A = this chain, B = another copy of it.
Amino acid sequence: MRRRTRDDWTAAALEALADGGLAAVAIEPLAARVGATKGSAYWHFPNREALVTATLERWERDHTEAVIDMVEAEGGDPATRLRRLFGAVLDPAHGPHVELALLSTSDDPLVAAAVSRVNERRIGYLARLLGQLGFARAQARRRAVLAYSVYLGQAQLMRATPGVLPQGKAARRAHLDDVLTTMLAAPV
């Protein structure tokens, strides 16, 4: 790979973001990572902020719309989709969670905006699924927030203290079952 493209840089930035936080999206370390020098980076991007912005846009595309599209594409009734969704995103193989690195750095205005858009999008999608399952409008919204909170919290635990989460295949399945039946429990 003699020459780098813009996407090469955002790809490397996403990796760095996942396991080093926003601070790790730094031109000079990234340059070393991709086997180039700053000269290349400052050719494709005017400054660090532009690289961060482009990386966040890429994350929004790849990690939100892609997942929703996948769940929708395979069809099935809403309950099946919900199970597939949670089965996918709660899976340890779901990879290093970029959102964790971001939600923490949400004091940064660029990050805050991107995170807000993604959160709204996901919760809205969950609320829609729950509405199709018979929950009233306000109730569906509450459960969507709750379900999304479960996802976020679980993601944090997966990274920080994986030991507290169920380990074996059977245990994970029992856990997923419990999560779903809990989230779908009838209201008061």
A: which residues have CB within 8 A of B? Answer: 19-21, 23, 100-101, 103-107, 112, 115-116, 119-120, 123, 138-139, 142-143, 145-146, 148-154, 156-157, 159-161, 163-166, 174-175, 177-179, 181-183, 185-188
Contacts and interface: CB of A to CB of B under 8 A. Distances in A.
Contacts of A159: 103, 106
Given A151-B153, A185-B185, A20 B107 contact: yes
Given A150-B153, A160-B116, A185-B185, A178 B143 contact: yes
Given A103-B160, A149-B149, A149-B156, 5 more contacts: A19-B107, A104-B105, A119-B157, A119-B160, A151-B153
A161 B113 CA distance: 9
Given A146-B179, A157-B149, A178-B143, A119 B164 contact: yes
A181 B185 contact: yes
Nearest to A188: B181
B182 A112 contact: no
A21 B157 contact: no
Contacts of A106: 159-160
A107 to B, nearest CB: 6
9 contacts: A21-B107, A123-B164, A143-B182, A149-B149, A149-B152, A150-B150, A153-B154, A181-B185, A185-B185
Nearest to A148: B153
B188 A185 contact: no
A165 to B, nearest CB: 7
